[in-house]
Amino acid sequence: MNTHAHPLPATASASQPLSGRVRVPGDKSISHRSFMFGGLASGQTRITGLLEGEDVLRTGEAMKAMGARIEKHGDEWVIDGVGNGCLLEPSAPLDFGNAGTGARLTMGLVGTYDMATTFVGDPSLSKRPMGRVLAPLREMGVQVIDAAPSDRLPLTLRGPRRAAPITYRVPMASAQVKSAVLLAALNTPGTTTVVEPVMTRDHTEKMLKGFGAEIDVETDSDGVRHIRITGEGTLSGQTIAVPGDPSSAAFPLVAALIVPGSDIVIENVLMNPTRTGLIDTLLEMGADIEVLDRRDAGGEAVADLRVRHSHLKGTRVPPSRAPFMIDEYPVLAVAASFAEGETVMDGIEELRVKESDRLAAVARGLEANGVDCTEGEASLTVRGVPGGKGLGGGMVETHLDHRIAMSFLVMGLASHKSVSIDDRAMIATSFPEFMDLMTGLGAPIE
């Protein structure tokens, strides 16, 4: 079922070899945090390379509603922040659209303020669990004064006079939950500790340190991370160059691997090790991906990726890799559909609470296009067809999920018959340039 008011279908057909050099838009996780931390810090923050997708722009609007000044001058976003502890009460609900990261991190950021803040979102976001963020916030003294059943949006938070620092062990592998607690700690006296048994993307820790927060990370002998942050300090504006999003690079990357004869370069891709699980997996599957000119860009590793068509072989993706490629399973499943043999993806229960139930959405999409696959409670097994003979011909339901939309358009480029999606509109949440970038490489998508 599609719940979008004016769905815009799209179709991808068998492609000639893809070629060219491209740059994907800025990393979504770093872009959200740039707006949030810049809006909170004292003084000016200057951002280049920001992802101007709908999700991130919503975060910008939320920060403006709480007192930050945010303007675009040429290629640069310039933010005058309010100062840590000085966010203003928004006069209207904060609307995060489709964005889980924007909503959940902002709940942490403002939850500990002694003011009422209401969060709303689109039908996809309104179905997603917020209790995972509200549980630690409640321990810190935050009241949920109104919420839809089972702690869903729309919901309203009110912080205490003074929040309580806590020690919180994150019960699932979620950078959003970890980050919400760390952000709540910024407006909390004393030291808050987040215990992270399974490491997830570390952009919050790294960036907060850059903004001057008192934060340190210790990894114990069991590999458990202890992140300690002391609140009520000063954050100072920074200059940020946002690297290209590896989760967006994944689409042209997999397209080049599965379309015969392709040879492309994707420039300036973030190579933070908590984000490169897809590349590691594809290399194990025999992908021809060359990592060129690995360099440092403002504290993060980046590189250019040269990608050529490859004969992929099925693999077993270990559950331990899931946090490092969590958003890339849909497009990995597409790559696996063209690989020789079976690809088994285990330990991927978190896919069920993304913009859609991605495990089910991927399985239904693959089945609609003739791929033999098995959906488990927390696993997906795909039996590939090298060359894509007989694949395609289906219409895929995207369920308001940008990554389902892009993954299946990539699938159509190497399938025997074309692949259609019911709605391309949500692609604008994370990768507004997707259609132009792909057609620029030679992909027949319309």
Chain residues that interact with ligand S3P, rule: CB under 6 A: 29, 101, 174-176, 179, 201, 326-327, 350
Least CB distance to ligand S3P at residue 101 (A): 4
Nearer CB in complex with ligand S3P: 57/413: 57
Q: Residue 325's closest CA among 426, 178, 201?
A: 201
Per the listing, tokens 């202890």 go with 226
List the structure tokens of 265.
Answer: 């370069």
216 has catalytic annotation = no
Given a contact cutoff of 8 angstroms between Cβ atoms, the answer to whether 179 and 206 are in contact is no
Nearer CB in complex with ligand S3P: 304/327: 327
Nearer CB in complex with ligand S3P: 247/262: 247
Given a contact cutoff of 8 angstroms between Cβ atoms, the answer to whether 349 and 378 are in contact is yes
Given a contact cutoff of 8 angstroms between Cβ atoms, the answer to whether 174 and 200 are in contact is yes
Q: Residue 188's closest CA among 197, 199, 200, 180?
A: 180
Least CB distance to ligand S3P at residue 310 (A): 26
Enumerate the β-bridge partners of residue 239: 46
Least CB distance to ligand S3P at residue 176 (A): 3
Least CB distance to ligand S3P at residue 300 (A): 14
First to last CA, the chain: 22
Nearer CB in complex with ligand S3P: 179/369: 179
Of 95, 327, 401, 423, catalytic: 327
| Dist. CA 318–CA 308, nearest whole Å | 25
Nearer CB in complex with ligand S3P: 32/309: 32
Least CB distance to ligand S3P at residue 179 (A): 6
Q: Residue 310's closest CA among 17, 12, 5, 8?
A: 17
| Dist. CA 296–CA 272, nearest whole Å | 10
Question: What residues act catalytically?
Answer: 327
